[in-house]
């Protein structure tokens, strides 16, 4: 029996009626952006999902309860309290629940809870993957293994640019995870539309993505789908411009001994400082764009149900 979930009335009603729902994570609120931009973005993303014909379900853990859909008050508190709230991946879920703590869910734990709720589409910023130097550190995000376990399609602007994108794509291939370029033949690199790495498959429309999802799960093929959706052209920071900034931030993190789940928040903050907030603006733009595409995919997937 699945662990009981607490859903808002809006989400519960939509799921019961088999209407489209889009999951959203809470780590991006608590750890990915500063206040108040984090809350403003979270609310805007929910509005975009609704405008696209789907119901948003921001996922988090509140006093040990798995929440599928947050109230306005809960969302604001997660934004204000930020990094004082635990960053929770799948391995952390039992402890946070048993101790009745608050937790901001990562891509991996959001996927797991979304799958438990029966939500098939999830919009995020960028997925985790294989970190640079993983051959020594073994630092590989739990997002990778979660894609092999949870039947959820994740709309993302590629993997975070701070990662080793080639090894991330290789790992997804090994795990049997389809990586679909959303109207692109190149895997996007978060801030940048181009990475130099090809995607193995491309879909021209959200309906085509929904068809791949349906075919995969109807065949009993377990696990998720990566929908690689490039940042809007007007918001991107070209790879040749952002790469030296990322390299410097990675070097600084290594020098300070920053590892594990603290790595990404540190690097994002460093990059935002060096780019005078331009990277934050890019992050906000790509999250909104992903929410729009995710809503369209969710609508198409719901409409394809037999």
Residue numbers annotated as active site: 25, 160
Instruction: From 82, 102, 85, 83, select the one nearest 93 (Cα to Cα).
Output: 102
Q: What is each CA distance from 208 to 159, 182, 227, in whole angstroms? A: 22, 10, 11
Strand partners, 22: 56, 121
Coil, strand or helix at 182: strand
Q: In the structure encoding, which two tokens stand for residue 238, read together?
A: 């070209």
Strand 86-88 and strand 103-105: the pairing is parallel
The upper half-sphere exposure of residue 207, i.e. CA atoms within 13 Å in the direction of its Cβ, equals 2
Task: Tell me how far apart the alpha carbons of residues 192 and 198 are, in angstroms, rounded to a whole number.
Answer: 14
From residue 300, alpha-carbon distances to 242, 274, 282, 290 in Å are: 35, 40, 27, 15
DSSP E strand stretches across 26-89: 55-62, 65-68, 86-88
| Token pair for 69 | 């859909």
């Amino acid at each position: 029996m699945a662990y009981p979930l607490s859903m808002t009335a809006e989400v519960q009603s939509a799921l019961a009626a088999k209407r489209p729902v889009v999951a959203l994570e809470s780590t991006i609120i608590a750890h990915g952006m500063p206040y108040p931009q984090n809350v403003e973005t979270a609310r805007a993303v929910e509005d975009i999902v609704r405008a696209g014909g789907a119901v948003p379900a921001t996922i988090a853990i509140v006093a040990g309860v798995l929440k599928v859909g947050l109230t306005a008050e809960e969302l604001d508190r997660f934004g204000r309290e930020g990094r004082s709230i635990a960053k929770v991946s799948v391995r952390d879920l039992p402890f946070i629940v048993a101790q009745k703590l608050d937790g901001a869910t990562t891509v991996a734990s959001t996927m797991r809870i979304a799958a438990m709720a029966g939500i098939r589409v999830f919009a995020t910023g960028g997925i985790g993957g294989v970190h640079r130097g993983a051959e020594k550190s073994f630092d590989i995000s739990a997002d990778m293994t979660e894609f092999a376990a949870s039947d959820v399609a994740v709309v993302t602007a590629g993997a975070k640019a701070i990662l080793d994108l080639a090894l991330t794509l290789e790992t997804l291939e090994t795990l049997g995870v389809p990586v679909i370029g959303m109207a692109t033949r190149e895997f996007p690199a978060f801030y940048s539309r181009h990475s130099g790495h090809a995607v193995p498959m491309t879909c021209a429309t959200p309906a085509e993505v929904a068809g791949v999802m349906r075919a995969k799960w109807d065949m009993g093929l377990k696990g998720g789908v990566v929908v690689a959706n490039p940042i809007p052209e007007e918001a991107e920071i070209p790879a040749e411009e952002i790469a030296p900034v990322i390299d410097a931030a990675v070097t600084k993190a290594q020098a300070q001994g920053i590892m594990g789940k603290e790595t990404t928040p540190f690097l994002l903050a460093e990059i935002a400082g060096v780019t005078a907030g331009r990277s934050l603006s890019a992050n906000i733009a790509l999250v909104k764009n992903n929410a729009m595409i995710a809503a369209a995919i969710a609508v198409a997937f719901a409409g394809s149900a037999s």
